[in-house]
Amino acid sequence: MKEGKIRMKEEGLEKIAEKYLSEIKVGTSYEGISEIDVFVLCLPSPIDEEGKPVVRYLENSVRDIANRVKKECLLLVESTVPVGTTEKLAEIFRDVNGKKLDHDFWFAHCPERVLPGKVVEEMNSNHRLAGGVTNASTELAVAFLNTVFHAELIHATRSRISETAKLAENAFRDANIAYANELAKFCTVLEIDVTEVIQLANLHPRVDILNPGLGVGGYCLPKDGWILVESVRPFGEEGILIPAARQVNDSMPAHVSKRIRETVLDMSLRPTIGILGLSFKPDVSDTRNSPALDLIKLLGFTGMEVVVYDPMVFEKHGDKKVESLEEVLASCDVLVLGAAHQILKKELQNKDLSQKVFVDPHGTMIDIATQVRKYIGLSV
Amino acid sequence: MKEGKIRMKEEGLEKIAEKYLSEIKVGTSYEGISEIDVFVLCLPSPIDEEGKPVVRYLENSVRDIANRVKKECLLLVESTVPVGTTEKLAEIFRDVNGKKLDHDFWFAHCPERVLPGKVVEEMNSNHRLAGGVTNASTELAVAFLNTVFHAELIHATRSRISETAKLAENAFRDANIAYANELAKFCTVLEIDVTEVIQLANLHPRVDILNPGLGVGGYCLPKDGWILVESVRPFGEEGILIPAARQVNDSMPAHVSKRIRETVLDMSLRPTIGILGLSFKPDVSDTRNSPALDLIKLLGFTGMEVVVYDPMVFEKHGDKKVESLEEVLASCDVLVLGAAHQILKKELQNKDLSQKVFVDPHGTMIDIATQVRKYIGLSV
């Protein structure tokens, strides 16, 4: 960013970067921090290996700020956090520097709410929550958001409510994908096409089943259900449905791996599998928690080799990753569409795939079925 | 029906009954059955005490018909059935009378798809599936449905697909209500209002959380998830999410019972609880699998007495059921809105409730909060 560049691919972001990045002071030190009026904290709030939320990045940064601010300030948390975190962060701030809430500082949770791949568009059109730890904090947060977003899109609430709403949004999405995925697994043993079942079920006026697939990836969805569950665990509540949804979605790479392995054995194919697309969803470069990465691991466990091609992903992935589709086609009988990037689908159109087994967990390239040796969807 | 009357309350049904019931031959014997061309089987397909699907009503009726038909006939199953049932019924038909599929008889699954309370309206406007056990059966089923419904609303498929789609529709609905209910239980321990959380979460363009409540009742939703799971169990598939959804929804009467009990103890109220509305949803007379009935049982277990009032329900419910709202008000400090019938809400408007604790699990009468001693929703 200091060089005036943004690595992340988002439609419209480059244009914004060109226009504004030179006017923004970007830094990695706390220099000049005492002069700041509004802090927008966008730090990561991941879960650890045991599924417990990690809020220390936020806590440390609040401590660092608290130690350095000189004037009145508003602190906004954009991160998705366990319920009650914003209140705790306000306490940390007060404990560190002895300043008074609603007098010297104000604290609110204003979660982001955008679709990766459509961040710029949705940043302007989606509703936003302003959840203060006090009424005065809420008011100040609303006033600040008003300077950037349309007033009618800003909703005043309390931090505990906005924290819960944000987690509930993502867990809802995760649960609905899990429903589609469970249905796909059922259709597999019933030997019927889950795509047709969902299409017909969705003719019902109150039914809207999502698309099943290789699993749920990205930075938010795989963790936010757990963060919500961890928020209530101290009160003796465990959750039944949300943990079940996580379990189903996490099981999908194993489901696809099993289908691939069975096909390789049944058809006596070469045990080198070509994975096309590594990102957690089509047309983004983000591979965080991508189910394609889990699939690669699982295929490895069953003794299969993997070759990976993704024209959108810049990171290395060991010696597995190759730089052209040709290399994949040369070494693999089985191709797996891990992420259906437009650019990848276009490249595939010009290739002779008549001897390939094509695995399409998301069912996004069903038209290719007639051009390949065998087409394998999620269920049939 | 022989007397020209229909007991079930459905908007527009009485008018249809008046107009057509005299032209229809209604009977309880198989007299004249050999002359019938099309059989529409609408028999119950419940689950037993262990949650296993019961298809013997359909099987017996198919045997009875098979023993009596003389001419070619089409058999349509309207009931929601385990996947593969329609194929099995066709086999039973053939085994009983030796007739030949696609020559002497045709068999299809054409599930109903209507909202109780809006049956007449949705019967005309909703899409319908015609799932034959053979292509010829599908074609004949489509042709028959065409004589009654709009052609563009009829979708040809196979019976295994239509059976799965129908079960998946209801299980989807159940899972989504379960999500709202789990969220309500979480909000209870977090001491925040689930109604506000859902309202704010639903501002998200891809989030549509349903209303939580006392649980899921009625004839279909509580059983269809289990029937879907039982359909795949023989193949070693168990299901994770759908059983979890059932568990959450079944837990809601206990959640509400606990809240009532705590309130009665905390506020030293009389332990006679007034249940207003017994039906499984507002404005219908159907009490099948109603969660209000479970609540009554659970309150009984904790030593509380129950008085019930429901102006829409005609069945007796022991000596618990009274004939006027006044009787409930006289004996109870705590009122529970079990089913928010319009007629019930209207009656409540004219009453002095200032000394009553009002429990509103569905959050449909939040406006009453200012007129009662204490208002208790599902979470706060």
Q: Give the pLDDT confidence of B343-367 residue by residue, as tens digits.
A: 999 999 989 999 999 999 999 999 9
CA atoms within 13 A on the CB side of A337: 30
CA dist B133 and B88 (Å) reads 10
pLDDT at B319: 72
Distance, in Å, from the CA atom of B284 to the CA atom of B91, rounded to the nearest integer, reads 38
pLDDT at residue number B266: 96
Is A118 touching B (CB cutoff 8 A)? no
Nearest to A169 among B172, B176, B201 (CB): B201
pLDDT at A36: 94
Check residue A1 and give its pLDDT.
84
pLDDT at A301: 94
Burial letters for B14-27: b for 16+ Cβ neighbours within 10 Å, e otherwise? eeebeeebeeeeee
Which of B172, B203, B244 has its CB closest to that of A207? B172
Alpha-carbon Rg for chain A in angstroms = 24
Classified as helix, coil or strand, B182 is: helix
Nearest chain A residue to B244 by CA: give it: A241
How far is Cα B318 from Cα A166, in angstroms, rounded to an integer?
Answer: 46
Question: What does the pLDDT read at residue B162?
Answer: 98
Angle at B173 between CA B151 and CA B184, to 5 degrees: 155
Find the mean pLDDT for residues B151-178: 98
With an 8 Å Cβ cutoff, are A160 and B248 in contact? Answer: no
Name the catalytic one among A110, A187, A220, A332: A220
- For A165, the closest of B201, B235, B240 (CB atoms) is B201
Nearest-Cα residue of chain A relative to residue B125: A205
Q: DSSP state, A329?
A: H
Read off the amino acid at residue A100.
K
Mean pLDDT of B239-259: 98
Rounded distance between C-alpha atoms, residue B18 and residue B21, angstroms = 6
- The backbone torsions φ and ψ at residue A102, rounded to the nearest 5 degrees and listed phi first, read 75, 5
What single string gives the DSSP state of each residue in A275-308?
A: EE--SSSTT----TT-HHHHHHHHHHHTT-EEEE
* Cα separation values, B317 from B217, B289, B311, Å: 17, 14, 13
CA distance B120 to B54: 27
Q: Is the pLDDT of residue B318 over 90?
A: no
Cα–Cα distances (Å) from A5 to A20, A42, A114, A122, B290, in that order, read 11, 19, 21, 21, 60
Question: Which chain B residue has its CA at the smallest distance from A152's CA?
Answer: B203
- Separation between Cα atoms, residue A117 and residue A173, nearest integer Å: 17
Is the C-alpha dihedral spanning B58, B60, B63, B68 positive or negative? negative
pLDDT tens, residue order, chain A (380 aa): 888 888 777 889 999 988 888 888 888 999 889 989 999 999 999 999 999 999 999 999 999 999 999 999 999 999 999 999 999 999 999 999 999 999 999 999 999 988 888 999 999 999 999 999 999 999 999 999 999 999 999 999 999 999 999 999 999 999 999 999 999 999 999 999 999 999 999 999 999 999 999 999 998 999 999 999 999 999 999 999 999 999 999 999 999 999 999 999 999 999 999 999 999 999 988 999 999 999 999 999 999 999 999 999 988 877 789 999 999 999 999 999 999 999 999 999 989 999 999 999 999 999 999 999 999 999 99
Amino acid (one-letter) located at A78 = E
Torsions phi, psi for A344 (to 5 deg): -75, -45
User: In this prediction, what percent of chain B has a pLDDT beyond 90?
Assistant: 87
Give residue for tokens 């290395």: A316
Distances (CA, A) of B106 to A378, B144, B319: 32, 12, 50
Number of H helices, E strands in chain A: 13, 10
Are the C-beta atoms of residues A260 and A299 closer than 8 Å to each other?
Answer: yes
CB atoms within 10 A of CB B296: 24
Strand ranges in chain A using DSSP code E only, listed in sequence order:
38-41, 73-77, 105-109, 128-132, 154-158, 272-276, 305-309, 334-337, 357-359, 374-376
Between chain A and chain B, the number of residue pairs with CB atoms below 8 A apart is 170
Smallest Cβ–Cβ distance between B182 and the set A122, A241, A251 belongs to A241
| Contact between A198 and B240 using a beta-carbon 8 Å cutoff | no
State whether A175 and B172 contact (CB < 8 Å): no
Instruction: Determine the Cα angle at B107 with ends B101 and B113, to 5°.
Output: 170
What pLDDT sits at residue A319? 72
* Cβ neighbours around B125 below 10 Å, total: 12
> Band of the pLDDT at B204, cuts 50, 70, 90?
very high
Q: Which residues of A touch B201 (CB under 8 A)?
A: 165-166, 168-169, 172
The encoded tokens of residue B350 equal 């004219």
| C-alpha dist (Å) from residue A41 to A56, A79, A166 | 13, 7, 16
pLDDT value of position A347: 96
**Closest to A87 measured CA to CA, from A171, A167, A164, A172:** A164
Chain B contact for A152, CB < 8 A?
no
Closest CA to B86 of B50, B59, B125: B59
Query: Which residue of chain A comes nearest to B183, CA vs CA?
Result: A168
| The pLDDT value given to residue A10 | 87
The mean pLDDT of chain B is 95
Q: Does B196 touch chain A (CB under 8 A)?
A: yes
Give tens-digit pLDDT for B71-92: 999 999 999 999 999 999 999 9
Our answer to whether residue A19 is catalytic in this structure is no
Enumerate residues 209 to 228 of chain B having a beta carbon within 8 A of any beta carbon in chain A.
Answer: 209, 228
Q: Please give the average per-residue pLDDT across B329-347, as a whole number.
A: 96
**pLDDT score of B278:** 95
Q: Is B223 a catalytic residue?
A: no
What pLDDT, on a 0 to 100 scale, did the predictor assign at position B316? 81
* Whether residue B25 has pLDDT greater than 80: yes
- DSSP characters for A41-89? E-----B-TTS-B--HHHHHHHHHHHHH--S-EEEEE-S---TTHHHHH
Which residues from B are below 8 Å from A239, CB to CB? 182, 186
- B130 min Cα distance to partner chain A (Å): 11
Is the CB of B83 less than 8 angstroms away from the CB of A190?
yes
> How many whole angstroms separate alpha carbon A131 and alpha carbon A139?
9
Instruction: Please tell me whether the interface predicted TM-score (ipTM) of this complex is above 0.85.
Output: yes
Q: Which tokens is B378 given?
A: 């599902």
pLDDT at position B132: 98
In chain B the domains, ranked by start, together with CATH numbers, are 13-165 (3.40.50.720), 251-376 (3.40.50.720)
Helix (H, G, I), strand (E, B) or coil at A207: coil
Interface membership of A236 toward B (CB under 8 Å) = yes
Is A241 in contact with B175 (Cβ distance < 8 A)? yes
Distance from CA of B325 to the nearest CA of A (A): 34
Residue type, A18: E
Res B1 pLDDT > 90: no
H or E, element range at A94: helix A85-97
Q: What is the pTM of this model?
A: 0.96
Residues 29-68, chain B, touching A (beta carbon < 8 A): none
Place B8 in a pLDDT band, splitting at 50, 70 and 90: confident
Mean pLDDT of B179-194: 98
